[in-house]
Structure 1
Amino acid sequence: MTFSSNPLVDETFMAPAHHLLAHYVRNRRKQNTGLSDERFLTWGVMRALDADESGRAFLQARADQAESLPRSTWFDAFKSKRRLEMLTEVATKSYQYFDRELGDRDWLAEFEELNDHPVWAVDGHQIAHATHSERDGKGRYVASGMIYGLCLHRGLMRPLARFQGDAKRRHEWPVFKENWQRWLQGEPRQLMPIIVADPAYVNNLYWVLEKIHRHAMIITREKENMEPMIYGPCGFDPDDPINRGVVSDDHAGYSNAALRRIHYRDPATGKDLVFITTCNHLRPGLIALLYFLRWKIEKAYDVFKNRLGVTKAWGTGDTAALMQAHFVALLHNLLTVLLARLEHTGLSETKVIDRQKKRRDKLPPDKQVPAQNNVRYAFALTCQFIRTVRNALRYKIPWEDAYPLFKLRMESYL
C-alpha cells in the first residue's frame, strides 16, 4: 500500500471488489445512471458496515450526504436474480483473489501437513426475521438462518446456503449436504478438504464414504449418546509438544462406521473432550487444535452481530438473504485484507497481540498448549479497527490523515 498520491480511504478500500467486478464478472451490466452494479456493490458493503438500524435509515444517511436514491430502487434490487448472480460471482472470485493476496498470512503456517488442504470451519448463523416476513403455520416468525464457512488458513468468510427463514424451518445438516460440494468448487488447494463442524454435522457413514470417494474429511465432537467400541490404539508420540493434552488416540467402531477417536484433556482447564474424525494422517493434537479453531467462526458471528450491527434480515426471500450474506462476508474479507495491507506497512493489532501474550504468560508451563501458541493472526476484527474504517469511509478521510489514526487505534485501547 502506498500513500504517496494520498487517495481517500474509501477509494482504496473498495478497489479490489470494483476491479473484479469490472474485469472478471460476466453478469455485470454497464449503466451510468441510477443504481449501477458498481454503486450497488459499494452500497451493499456500506449497508453492512454503517450499522444503521434499518434500510430506510441507511438510505436517509446516504441522502443526507447528497447520495440519494429512490427507496423502491434500492429495495427492488434485492429481488433481482441477475444482481444476485453478479454479486455471487464477485464474492467467489474475491475469495480466490484475497486468498492469494494473504499468502503469507496463514493461521496454520506452522503445520506443513496442512499446507495443501483446504480447512473450513462450518456452522449456521441466525438473525432476526425481516419486518415483512411471513409467519409459520403456528403464527410464529422464523429467524433467518444462513450457513457460513470460515477458512482456517486465511480467516476469510463465505456464505454457503440459507437453511431457514420466511416461515420455513430446516435443519442445517441436509442443507449443508445439498450444497457443500458445489460451494468448494474452484478451491485453490490441491488436497482433500477438511471440514471442521460441531456435532450437528455428525453422520459417520456419510463422512466415511465421502473420504473413500476423496471428497472431504471431517473433524467433529463425539455426541454423548454415542457408544463406541474401541478396536485398538492408532499410536502417537506423547513427547511431541503438539500432542500435549492427548490422552488416547484409537480406532473406534460406531453403529454403522469406524472412525478415529481422540480423547483430549485440555491442559489449561482440565476439561475432557472427545473428537472423532476421518483424518488419519494428522497428529492427534493437531486434530484438537483445528476443532478449537472452529470457535473462530463463532467469533466472526459475534463481529457481525455486535460490532457491525447486522442483527436483522434486510428483506424477505432467499435472494435478499443470500445478497445480505454475501455483502456481510465480503465486508469481513475486505476488512481482513485491509488489516493485512496495514501490517505490511509496519502496523499490527499490537493491543490484541500483547493481551494474548499476557494471558498466555499467566499460565504455568504445564497448562500451556504449544499447538495453540503456534497459531498466528487468528484473532477477531476489533471494535476500534472497524470504527476507524467506518469513520474514514463515512467522512471521506484521505490516507495521509487516516494512517496515524489506524496506528493509534491498533496500538492501544481507548
Structure 2
Amino acid sequence: MSHRCEKLHNELMSETVFSEFFSPASSALNRVRYAAGRFKSLPMEDFCAFGCLRHLQGIQTLREQIQLLFHLTEAAQMPVARSTYSDALSSEYRLEILIQMVTQLFRQARAVLPDRLAEIPGLGERSIYAVDGSYQHESAHYHRCAPKHGGEDNPKGHMMLAFYDVRIGAPASVQIETRNFHEMRVFKDYGQEPDSLLKERRALWVVDRAYVDMPFWDAQYKGYRQTVITRMKDNLLVEDRKPRDVSEHKINEGILADEEVVLKASSARWRLIHYQAPDGNCFKFLTNEMELEPGVVAFLYLRRWDEEKCFDTWKNSFASKKAWSKSVTGISAQAWLAIMTSLLLLMFAHHHQDRWQIGDEKSLMKQSDRIDQKYIKEGQRIPWHTFLYRSVSKISQQVIRFLKYCFWKKASRKLYKRQLMPMLLRYM
C-alpha cells in the first residue's frame, strides 16, 4: 500500500461505521483476481471506498472530495493527489475489476435481501428485471458536439441505461452511452455482452413503450424463453384477437379484458390486457407472458416505477447528476460505483432492521396514510397487492444522512440504537 493512503485507510477502515458499511464490498473484491501490485499510489479497495464515500456525501467535484479526505487525517500531505484519482477513474483495467466486484456484490445482495415478490402468485423464482434510461449532465471539462453541429454526442447528456432487479429492489447493471443513440439500440448492444442479463433463461422484463420491438422480443423468447411486459403502442396493428377467460380471483380486480392477439409485426403469440386502475384510468398492457394471471401482469408493470426511485436517489442524494469524468470509462466507473453504493446501503439498512425486527417504519406509516387517503376516504377500490407488497421503493434518505454524518465514528450498538434506529421509526 502507498505511504500516502495508508494512514487514511487504517483510520477509515478501523472499526468505523464506514468499515462496517463497506465490508461486503471488501469481501467481494477479495473474490476478484487482479494484479494488486499495479496500484501502488491508490489501492483498488481505496479507489472503491473513496468513490462510495463521494456518493454518500453527494460531492460533485473531485477537488472537494480530495479536500474531504485530507481533512479526515492529520497527515501532512494529501492522502491521494487529484490527478491520481482522475487517472484511476479513466483506467479501463480498474473498470474491469470494478464490474467484477459489483457482480460479486450483487450475488451477495440477492442472497441477503428479502424477496419482495415472494408472495405474488405465479412468479416462482424467475428473475424480474426493469430497464430504463436516465440522462446525466456532462463534466465541466467536456465540450459537447451534438449531431446538428456535426458530432455524435447526445443533446440530452450521457445516457445511463440501468438494469434493475425488481425482486430485491436494487440496480444490477448499467450501460453508458454518450452518443446520440436510441435506448433500444443501446439495449440491443448490451445484449451482445458475455454477462448480459438478456442471456439469462426465463427472465421476465418490464419495460416502457420505448422498448417495443416485436422481432427482438420474439428472438429473446425463442433463444432464452424470456418474456416482456410493456404498454400497447397505438401504431401496432392487431390483425386478429381472441378473448381469454379471466378468473374471478381477487388478483384480477380491475381487469376489463384479456385477449390473445395476432400482431402484424410479430409471428408469435401475444396478449393484450385491458386494466382499469382504482382511480378510473384505463391501461392496455402488451405481453408474450402467457401463464401469469392478468392482474399480476398489471401489478408487475406498476412495479417498474421502483426503478425511477433508484434514479431519484442517484441524482438527488448521490453525486450522479453530473459526470465525474469526460471519458466514457470514467463515466462508467462512476455509474458502477453508484450501483455498489446502492447495494451496500440496502444491505446495511436490512442488517440493522432485521436485527431490531423493524422495517422502514416511518415510510410504511406514510404508505398506510396514503392508502387511507387515496382509497378509503375517496371510496376507491383497494388494490389486491396493497397488503401483499409492503416494500418501500426508495432507499431511506435518513439512512443516507446517518452514514453521511456518522461514517467516521466508531461502530457500536449504542451508536446505532441512539442515532440510526430512531430515524427508521420516525422522521427526525
Q: TM-score over 0.5 for the alignment? A: yes
**SS state at 1:367 partner:** coil
Match status 1:353 vs 2:364: yes
Corresponding residue for residue 399 of structure 2:
385
Question: For the Cα contact (< 8 Å) 1:135–1:142, is it kept in 2?
Answer: no
Aligned counterparts of 2:35 and 2:399: Cα–Cα separation in 1? 32
1:30 Cα deviation from its structure 2 partner: 4.3
Corresponding residue for residue 302 of structure 1:
312
Aligned counterparts of 2:359 and 2:89: Cα–Cα separation in 1? 37
Corresponding residue for residue 47 of structure 1:
54
Question: For the Cα contact (< 8 Å) 1:233–1:249, is it kept in 2?
Answer: yes
**SS state at 1:34 partner:** coil
What is the one-letter code of the residue matched to 2:423? Answer: R
> What is the RMSD computed on CA atoms of the aligned residues?
2.3
Corresponding residue for residue 178 of structure 1:
189
Alignment of 1:163-242 (within 5 A): 163=177, 165=178, 168-180=179-191, 182=193, 192-237=202-247, 239-242=248-251
Question: For the Cα contact (< 8 Å) 1:227–1:254, is it kept in 2?
Answer: yes
Match status 1:26 vs 2:33: yes
- CA 1:370–1:210: 2 relative to 1, 3 Å: same
Match status 1:96 vs 2:133: no
Question: For the Cα contact (< 8 Å) 1:231–1:253, is it kept in 2?
Answer: yes
Match status 1:254 vs 2:263: yes
1:34 Cα deviation from its structure 2 partner: 2.3
Aligned counterparts of 1:276 and 1:254: Cα–Cα separation in 2? 11
Question: For the Cα contact (< 8 Å) 2:26–2:45, is it kept in 1?
Answer: yes
Q: 1:152 aligns with which of 138, 161, 166?
A: 166
Question: For the Cα contact (< 8 Å) 2:201–2:226, is it kept in 1?
Answer: no
**SS state at 1:122 partner:** strand
Q: 1:125 aligns with which of 114, 121, 134?
A: 134
What is the one-letter code of the residue matched to 1:10? Answer: F
Query: Where do 5+ consecutive residues of structure 1 fail to align?
Result: 1-5
Q: Deviations over 1:288-315 (max 9, x none)?
A: 1110000000111011111224210010
Aligned counterparts of 1:31 and 1:172: Cα–Cα separation in 2? 36
Match status 1:243 vs 2:252: yes
Greater shift, 177-186 or 220-229, is seen at 177-186
- CA 1:182–1:236: 2 relative to 1, 3 Å: farther
What is the one-letter code of the residue matched to 1:43? Answer: F
Aligned counterparts of 2:273 and 2:195: Cα–Cα separation in 1? 27
What is the one-letter code of the residue matched to 2:65? Answer: F
Aligned counterparts of 2:58 and 2:174: Cα–Cα separation in 1? 23
What is the one-letter code of the residue matched to 2:241? Answer: Y
Corresponding residue for residue 299 of structure 2:
289
Q: 1:341 aligns with which of 351, 356, 373?
A: 351
**SS state at 2:224 partner:** coil
Question: For the Cα contact (< 8 Å) 1:9–1:399, is it kept in 2?
Answer: no
Q: Deviations over 1:125-165 (max 9, x none)?
A: 111111122321545865111111111110121233112x2
Match status 1:136 vs 2:145: yes
Question: For the Cα contact (< 8 Å) 1:342–1:348, is it kept in 2?
Answer: no
- CA 1:149–1:378: 2 relative to 1, 3 Å: farther
Aligned residues, how many? 400
Corresponding residue for residue 371 of structure 1:
385
What is the one-letter code of the residue matched to 2:405? Answer: N
TM-score for both structures, normalised by structure 1 = 0.91
Q: 1:403 aligns with which of 412, 417, 425?
A: 417
